[in-house]
Amino acid sequence: MLYQLSWTILFAPLLAFAVIIFGTRVWDLRSRPKVALPAAEHGHGEHHTDDHDTHAVTDEHGHGGHSEQDEDDDPHVPQLSAGAKASAYAALVIMALACIYSWVLLFSTVLHPADLAAAGKEVFAYNWLSVGGLNYIVGFHLDRLGIAMMVVVTTITFLVQFYSQGYMENSAGYARFYAYLSLFAFSMLVIVFAENFLVIFCGWELVGLSSYLLIGFWINKRAKPEEQRPSPASANLQAFIMNRIGDVGFILGIMILFVNTGSFDFIAVQHGVVHMDKTLLGIAMILVFCGAMGKSAQFPLHTWLPSAMEGPTPVSALIHAATMVAAGVYMIARTSPLFATAAPFAWEVVASIGAFTAFFAATIALVQSDFKRVLAFSTISQLGYMFVGLGVAGPEYGVGPGMFHLFTHAFFKALLFLGAGSVLHGLHHAMHKEVQDVRLMGGLASKMPITAATWLIAVLAISGFPGFSGFYSKEEIIGLALEQGHPVIYALTLATAGLTAFYMLRAFILAFGGKGGKFMGLWGGPYRGYGEVKESPLYMTIPLMLLVIPSVLAGYWTGFYQYVNVSAENVANLSIPALFQATDTWIGVIVSLVGLGFAWFLYGRVDLVKINQVVQSNAALRTIHRILFNRYYVDDLYNWIVKYVVLGLAALAQAFDRYIVDGIVNGVASGVTGTGSGIRRLETGRVQSYMIGFFGGVAVLAVVFVVLITTVWK
């Protein structure tokens, strides 16, 4: 019963979405003062308040302590209405219940593993369509892998929603924001619960839609070319389209599997692929992996993730920790029995792309000056680790290492993003504009101690500092790469570990510390911005403090590998003593410590301006910096491709369409017109010429008939 009713977790966020959209948000909009039209005198002509709210328009500026110079593009209301607050409470209460339920499920399955069969349990099935012998079932099932993921999704979503009460204060789109967050959680849970490829694909697209809505939440915000930042409206499009590119592969992969096994169901496909050609299966799985590459932002489909930073920061936290990018990793874990059956190159491709992406993104993150963008690239890098973990683990470990890193990373990455949001929120209030550039931060630790402390813990976790959760998941993956005989991947991941430690502490010191701060510049120091920065409200700091707990302790769940195991064989569990005894663990730790130490040494003791001067004065360093800063020009390459190749082909196609297709069509049309205007002369309008035609036809037919019956039919 406990397990059978778990579908309520899935539908709870959908319920919240419906309640908000059809109930409380309408209440919110109705209660707003009615103003004739959006105020054009505000200087930003295209500004509207909330997106579709034409009947309720509020003043955008000059409220809630914002001055007229406030460059915020998020329209505000002076005071949240009861409807808006009710929206948040509805979403929060429902998500809290779902969260508690999923934690109950987690503890129940950990304490009584026998209660839920390893293969899972179908909790909801609706026969959507029966064609021939095929049943297309909207089916959801519950297993331990799903429960682990569900806990992450519901917990992070709940904390993000809680946090958004502070971050989104007085936003005109408050109710809408909560509706979208709920929809996002629902979409992800569809993926988590999915029983077959069709349902997972539906969830996949729902996630794409939700992320589209949320990344573009601030629809009025404009692009900032000087900071290389796109507008949210184009960033969400980029995310959507990038994902479509990956989805093409995903669909093709699903089709190949379907054609060869005749089913969409994971278990049936798993049984069916045994007889399939291993190479073909490998190709199918790589195509499926393409979908994961899009969703999880792996090279070369990674560029949408940094652009997605244009969304509100809680959304970034959600995307990066629990809902969007985790979907790709989760899907690969879900289909891992198929990868295991396929030719070995399938896993190798996954691991190689993961390793390359990890290193690639880490190098970019080294020089980014945008606070959130550093985190974006660190996410890409960490997702690379997860794919390496899935790719190299082999049957002894199953999906454990990859999923474990997903699990721990979700918490500390959520913490990092929510902390970053707290910083941006504080700076926004101080400077009355949106600031994300670390060059305008510095020394914030003494002003925002809670944010700084929690952030530092998250930095240590992501850097793999011994004792923190990231250490257990990441060192295990790096160690596995060596153990399973992938020296190149090992080298890349090891180097990435050092880079990660470096750029994370660099970001920390640039934001919170600086030359002159305590502990050799680690804590406090000169503030490069202006205005009075204050610690964020409790709404925002409570989730940070709560997230510290799993960020540290999640790594001590040693039974995780076996818990999430989806293959038939038992797998080895994480052994902490063995981990501490292994040499390569300590090599990894040393590399991380070197990275941390170097960052501390460099940015804690030297002024940022001076570092920049040094970099700019050295030709080689300058070139490297420029390449990295421009993200290897991948975005520019894509822009170039779109501009010249895609648009060129489009122009060709257009020319073909205009001159050949249209030519044929118009030719036919003008031919018909010409023939018609010729033939219409036969239409004299005189009834007797029509009679000639009619009776002439009768006569001809009669004569033909007579001829036929006298000759042929006789």
Partner 1 sequence: MDLATLLFWIFAVIMVGAALLVVGLRDIVHSALALVVVFAMAAGVYVLLDAEFIAIVQILIYVGAVTILVLFALMLTRIEGQRHTNPTNKLWPVAAVICVAIGAVIVYAFSESKHAVSTTIAASDVVKQLPNNVVRIGQLLYSPTNYSYVLPFEIASLVLLVAIVGAIVIGRED
Partner 2 sequence: MHLTLEHVLVLGAVLFCIGLYGAITKRNAIAVLMSIEIMLNAVNITMVGFSYFDTVKLYSQHLTGQIFAIFIITVAAAEAAVALAMVIAIYRKRATVDVGEIDMMKW
| Nearest approach, Cβ of residue 54 and partner 1 (Å) | 55
Can you read off the two tokens belonging to residue 234? 């184009």
Residue 703 binding target from partner 2, partner 1, none, CB below 5 to 8 Å by type: partner 1
DSSP one-letter string for 410-426: HHHHHHHHHHHHHHHHH
Can you read off the two tokens belonging to residue 210? 């939700």
Can you read off the two tokens belonging to residue 303? 């560029």
| Nearest approach, Cβ of residue 662 and partner 1 (Å) | 44
How far is the CA of 261 from the CAs of 83, 199, 201, 256, 282, in angstroms? 51, 17, 18, 9, 14
Report how far Cα 423 is from the mean position of its chain's Cα atoms: 22
Which of 224, 160, 635, 228 lies closest to 420, judged by CA? Answer: 160
Residue in the block written with tokens 């257009």 = 654
Residue 702 binding target from partner 2, partner 1, none, CB below 5 to 8 Å by type: partner 1
Please state, in angstroms and rounded to a whole number, the distance separating the CA atoms of residues 420 and 703. 95
Residue 531, phi-psi category: left (phi > 0), alpha (psi -120 to 50), beta (remainder): left
Residue 616 binding target from partner 2, partner 1, none, CB below 5 to 8 Å by type: none
**Is residue 683 near partner 2 by the rule CB under 8 A?**
yes
Q: 667-688: b or e for each residue (b if 16 or more CB lie within 10 Å)? A: eeeeeeeeeeeeeeeeeeeeee
- Classify residue 236 as exposed, middle or buried by CB count within 10 Å of its CB (0-12, 13-18, 19+): buried
Task: Decide whether 559 or 697 has the Cβ nearer to partner 1.
Answer: 697
Residue 46 binding target from partner 2, partner 1, none, CB below 5 to 8 Å by type: none
How big is the site for partner 2, counted in residues (CB under 8 A)?
10
| Nearest approach, Cβ of residue 681 and partner 1 (Å) | 16
Report how far Cα 125 is from the mean position of its chain's Cα atoms: 27
How far is the CA of 107 from the CAs of 103, 240, 290, in angstroms? 6, 36, 34
**Is residue 688 near partner 2 by the rule CB under 8 A?**
yes
| Nearest approach, Cβ of residue 714 and partner 1 (Å) | 10
**Is residue 703 near partner 2 by the rule CB under 8 A?**
no
Residue 684 binding target from partner 2, partner 1, none, CB below 5 to 8 Å by type: partner 2
SS3 518: helix
SS3 257: helix
Task: Decide whether 487 or 685 has the Cβ nearer to partner 2.
Answer: 685
| Nearest approach, Cβ of residue 684 and partner 1 (Å) | 11
Residues 633-672, one symbol each (x = binds partner 2 by CB under 8 A, - = not), give ----------------------------------------
**Is residue 678 near partner 2 by the rule CB under 8 A?**
no
How far is the CA of 469 from the CAs of 224, 457, 553, 557, in angstroms? 37, 10, 6, 9
| Nearest approach, Cβ of residue 675 and partner 2 (Å) | 15
Per CB under 8 A, residues contacting partner 1 are: 688-689, 692, 695-696, 698-699, 702-703, 705-706, 709
| Nearest approach, Cβ of residue 691 and partner 1 (Å) | 8
Among 532, 687, 711, 713, binds partner 2 (CB under 8 A): 687
| Nearest approach, Cβ of residue 674 and partner 2 (Å) | 16
| Nearest approach, Cβ of residue 692 and partner 2 (Å) | 6
Which among 49-57, 361-369, 442-450, 681-689 is the span making contact with partner 2, rule CB under 8 A? 681-689
Residue type, 344: P
Cis peptide bond prior to 526, omega within 30° of 0: no
Task: Decide whether 653 or 708 has the Cβ nearer to partner 1.
Answer: 708
Task: Decide whether 647 or 691 has the Cβ nearer to partner 2.
Answer: 691
Task: Decide whether 616 or 689 has the Cβ nearer to partner 1.
Answer: 689
How far is the CA of 701 from the CAs of 680, 694, 698, 704, 709, in angstroms? 24, 11, 5, 5, 12
Residue 650 binding target from partner 2, partner 1, none, CB below 5 to 8 Å by type: none
**Is residue 686 near partner 2 by the rule CB under 8 A?**
yes
Decide if 316 contacts 647 (C-beta within 8 A): no
Which helix H or strand E contains 627, and what residues bound it?
helix 619-629
| Nearest approach, Cβ of residue 700 and partner 1 (Å) | 8
DSSP one-letter string for 571-583: -PPP-HHHHHH-H
Residue 709 binding target from partner 2, partner 1, none, CB below 5 to 8 Å by type: partner 1
Among 695, 700, 703, 706, binds partner 2 (CB under 8 A): 695
**Binding stretches for partner 2 (CB under 8 A):** 680, 683-688, 691-692, 695
